[in-house]
Structure 1
Amino acid sequence: MIAWLTEAVLACVVAVFDVITGVLLTTPQVTAMPQVRALTGRSVWIVDSVFLMAFVAAGVLIMAAGGGGEQSRYTVKDLLPRLVVGFTAAHFSQLVCAQLIDLGNAVTGAVSDGAYDGDGALTAIHTHLTAAAANHTVPLLFLILAAVIAVLAAAAAVQMIGRFVALMVMTAVAPLALACHALPQTDPVARLWWRSYTGCLTIPVAQAFLLTAGEQILLDPAAALPVPVDPGGTVNLLVVVVLLWTTVKIPGLMARWAGQSRRGMTTLGAVVVVQQLARAVPGLNTLRRSIR
């Protein structure tokens, strides 16, 4: 029974590794996909429509103020640079996304270059699994560790697909997100997009650095852990488990870093809701003033 389960788990590990090898640490150029281009075109159309109405409204307000008073000129002087930045960033968003993706892939390639014996980290992991499977010293322990490795590898594959989908969505809505630089009230949305997009591109870089370091530990005898007794290659399998577990944790850490500005946006939204309620409920403003 143990031998049959071990063979089945190893087959699962090989199948998952065949899927993620060569694509786990790369970011596809999603800006060239037809679906993303179509959604981006709609986002740009929405941005153009909103900005057109904003410019028309600003002109009407200036004309209604009698040719532009001191207060209206001051407001236009403050908002005009933001409007220009938001409009320009929205129309050049795809170029920015393409350059960021190329930069992320270049950094990932530079970090993971110079692998030992020309094998990647996943190939090294598969090699140690095969070597440990040939040693029948502790078959039950090997089965447990192989099952853990299979689960972690499957989790890494699911996260990789989720990262691709998130990158496609963020690239498609990039014009809308970057257009939010036009107003101080919506600027946190654009900043959140920048943090999320750069965090999504930083995930494979961090994973490449981690797996490259683990590859050196697994393949370089000089960097191996000094363990006098290692029945069945247990220490190497534990190193593999730690590497894959840390690799799976990296996207969560990046998501937490990217979401740090959500607290400010939530507070801003709460303030707006309270103000609207104060205006809607009669007598609430009078009660608040009396309390003050």
Structure 2
Amino acid sequence: MTSEERKIQMRVGIFVLIGLTTIGIMTVYLGRVGESMHHHYRLHAHFPNASGIKKGADVLLSGARIGRVATSPSILPNMKGVSIQLFIEQGVSIPVGSRFTISSSGLLGDRFVDILVGKGVTDTRPILPGAIVHGEYVSGIEDLVSTVNSVAERTSELIACLGIVVQDVGQVARMARTSNLLQPQSLKNLSKTLENLKEISGDFAQLSKRTEGLLETTNTAVGESRKILASIGIISREISQALKSEQSTVGLLLSSKEVAENVRAFILNARQHGIFWYKDTARRQTREPP
């Protein structure tokens, strides 16, 4: 190959390189220009966790692309989440009350902002440009893996505890084999003890029944005694009323002095003369002094 041919090939190569570079620059530039030609408005979305979201990620409304993520997540001043800016196409109106979530396309897909308009949203007012919206974080494959790891750690701890329990049970079994607890004589003694306890329980049950019968008899006797005492009380009250009554015979005899003297004289005469030879000498003796 001559030097002239080499020069021609170098010129062609340089021309092709310049052409490819120009095409690349124009593609990037025209893409940015085309994007800038679309009118957007900004929304500030606050999320408790924006893991995996990047600048330029898509913003979807019910599955349709309506914008992109304008900035990378930045920490809020109160340290309770992150904030990202969203570029939303000018012609799209998002109703107030819509849900902003961070989702992923598949298990290992890229993260994007998904806007969901629920059935319960009745407010037709659109979210104003520059407004602050509060989003939600939806668990992804990373959260699932971390949950599985925590469950695996707890399972390992449980298995270790079960191993310790099995060792303790083995030690107890060995102690039982080496001691006299499971010897035939020990088992026989234990059986006799249980039989004695059973007999004692039966005797105690019979004694309880007898005690119950005795208590019933005692209760009956007490009831009869109460009835007798009540009758005696009634009789004593009647006697007391009879004694207190001035119109009754007994009350008249006990309250009259003349009747008392006549009774006394009658008793003295009867003692001295008898019933058949009765004479009224006691009254004379009391009237005539000796």
Q: Name the structure with the higher helix share.
A: 1
Q: Give the TM-score of the pair, scaled to structure 2.
A: 0.22
User: Looking at CA atoms only, which structure, 1 or 2, has the larger radius of gyration?
Assistant: 2
Higher relative contact order (CA 8 A, sep 6+): 1
Q: Give the TM-score of the pair, scaled to structure 1.
A: 0.22
Q: Name the structure with the higher strand share.
A: 2
